[in-house]
Structure 1
Amino acid sequence: MAQVTDRSLSNYYMDIMAGDEDIYALYFGKSADLYYQNGELSKEIFVFDYDGKLVKTYTLDYSLVSLAVDEENMRFFGISSDKDPNVVIFDYND
């Protein structure tokens, strides 16, 4: 795994998951410096089809470090980025 040492560079995607029909990307889009100043990571999930077209965007009420998706039960699972990290669950309906 490559290591980026310049914290002023933007990190766009924190995590990604390939589903049966879509690709789910946990979007950050900021520099690591901003994370260390604000203590908040990714709150948006971008959903792409396999042609690369943006299909949907979800905005979360928790900041996440990682993402897992249960497409069958329409749930997102993530690890929160707060001082006491927890597993958080979001139901999504289309």
Structure 2
Amino acid sequence: MLEWIHDCADAGNPTPNVAAIVDRFGFAGPEQARTLLADLADAGTIKLVGVGVAQTITLPGDAPAPAMPVTRGERLPRRSSSLTPPSSGSQR
């Protein structure tokens, strides 16, 4: 995966997003890709900038590259509808 990220950056292309990594490597879901990306970031071999679908991968010493467009409908999880904002204390 790291070699592919380097190849994309070296070719001047956007670095892959989580959805592209899942597709390319046949992962069961995005969490596996996110875990491996976090491991690479912890090792200092990549930098993760941003969160969710806006997250980009950069290589140490490189300027942030544009994110690869989302092609598989990857979205952030929706908030639970059971959560309600706190009441102001006055009821009518």
TM above 0.5, yes or no, is: no
> Over alpha carbons, which structure has the higher Rg?
2
Q: Which has the higher contact order (CA 8 A, sep 6+)?
A: 2
TM-score range, shorter chain: under 0.3
For normalisation by structure 1, the TM-score amounts to: 0.27
Higher helix share: 2
